[in-house]
Structure 1
Amino acid sequence: MQLNLERPDYQYFLRGADGTGALVNERRLSASFIIAPEALVEDWPVRDAAGLTPADLEPLLALAPELVLLGTGANQVFPPAASLAACLRRGVGIEIMSNAAAARTYTVLAGEGRRVVAGFLFP
């Protein structure tokens, strides 16, 4: 059996994430970041989902997603309701999950050509 590495047809692809870091393209990131198929925002200053404010979501929403995925570290941690409402008021869906689950979901949705943006939190 021959195995070939196939790269997606978009600029930034996420190979995986966990509670300590993520692999984007060929780079290991260990600080919170935002990713979309055509954008990467490194050093997003948010570190904790429990303290997430609506203003913290503005860099994600500025990328005009139809869906926001929020990876909250090794475990799923829900942000305050006001932060979730900030997305919903704009008609943007938001899903909260662990970094590993968010990475898998992001990869599938980006591969389908969906307008997805993901934020990954690292302490």
Structure 2
Amino acid sequence: MKFQPDRSSAPTITGFGPGWFSVDADRYTTSLVLSSSGTREVWNCQRFEDLTSEHFALLARFDAEVVLFGSGLRNRFVPPAWLRPLIERRIGLETMDTAAAFRTYNILAGEGRTVVAALLLESPPASAA
């Protein structure tokens, strides 16, 4: 039996830390929409509270099997009505914290799945001095 190394043409999340993450060789410090087909778009939101239905309507224009919503530092859900554009296009949505979305995106994209990750990058809370 011959083994072949995994090869994927999809962008890969290669690292992350408080307030940043890397996709291949590029470092980001803002929220981002990343697709396994190669699209990278700044997602104009810095906090979960900044999100609106328009943020999710934007995601429906992608031809994806599933959208991974990285909801920030913890797992939070948006109002179901905001998901109508995705439901109408029969695109699934999975919600998880952003660190879990990084890992899940890499697995699905590496399998050749058509996936979009909407990654909310929140700044960690300032520590008390």
Q: Common fold, TM-score beyond 0.5?
A: yes
Q: Which runs of 5+ in 2 are unaligned?
A: 123-129
Query: Is residue 2:65 matched to residue 1:45?
Result: no
Q: Deviations over 1:44-74 (max 9, x none)?
A: 1123334433321233222211100011111
Structure 1 stretches of 4+ moved >6 Å: none
Q: Deviations over 1:50-100 (max 9, x none)?
A: 443332123322221110001111111211221233322321100111111
Match of 1:22, as an amino acid?
F
Larger Rg: 2
TM-score, with structure 1 as normaliser: 0.81
- Asked if the contact 2:65–2:91 (Cα under 8 Å) also holds between the matched residues in 1, the reply is yes
Name the SS for the 2:107 alignment partner.
helix
Q: Which runs of 5+ in 1 are unaligned?
A: 1-5
The Cα shift of 1:43 comes to 2.3
TM-score, with structure 2 as normaliser: 0.77
User: Equivalent residues in 2 for 1:1-123 (5 A)?
Assistant: 8-17=7-16, 20-123=19-122
- Asked if the contact 2:57–2:83 (Cα under 8 Å) also holds between the matched residues in 1, the reply is no
Paired residues in the alignment total 118
Distance in 1 separating the partners of 2:77 and 2:27? 25
Percent identical among aligned pairs is 32
Q: What RMSD, in angstroms, separates the aligned Cα atoms of the two structures?
A: 2.1
- Asked if the contact 2:32–2:42 (Cα under 8 Å) also holds between the matched residues in 1, the reply is yes
